[in-house]
Structure formats: C-alpha cells, structure tokens
C-alpha cells in the first residue's frame, strides 16, 4: 500500500469516526429533547460533509 492509499484510508477512517461521534451526540440530544444542540449538531454534520 503506497502513502496515498494510506492517507486516503486514514482520512476515511477519521471521517467515519467523526460521523459516529456526532451521531452519538445527536442521539443524546434527542433523548434529552435538546433541540438547540440537535440543530447545532446537524449544522456541524453538514459543514463537515458527514451527511
């Protein structure tokens, strides 16, 4: 595996980890009926391109 493939794989893993973290935070916000936090997290997902 060359350096570009490793970087692409690392980037993909990082993006997946970020998405999982934000989705988990969204679940907690929903459970707590925290619409302000939920809206902020949805915006964060869009800004990071994690839809």
pLDDT in the model for residue 50 = 84
Say how far apart CA 48 and CA 8 lie, in whole Å: 16
pLDDT in the model for residue 6 = 95
pLDDT in the model for residue 1 = 77
- The answer to whether 18 and 45 have CB atoms below 8 angstroms apart is no
pLDDT in the model for residue 4 = 93
Domain boundary assignment for the chain: 3-48
Q: pLDDT tens digits for 1-51?
A: 799 999 999 999 999 999 999 999 999 999 999 999 999 999 999 999 987
Say how far apart CA 51 and CA 27 lie, in whole Å: 15
DSSP 14-44: HHHHHHHHHHHHHHHHHHTT-HHHHHHHHHH
């Amino acid at each position: 595996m060359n350096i570009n493939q490793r970087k692409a794989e690392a980037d993909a893993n990082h993006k997946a980890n970020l998405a999982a973290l934000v989705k988990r935070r969204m679940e907690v916000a929903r459970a707590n009926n925290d619409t302000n936090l939920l809206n902020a997290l949805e915006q964060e997902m869009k800004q990071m391109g994690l839809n």
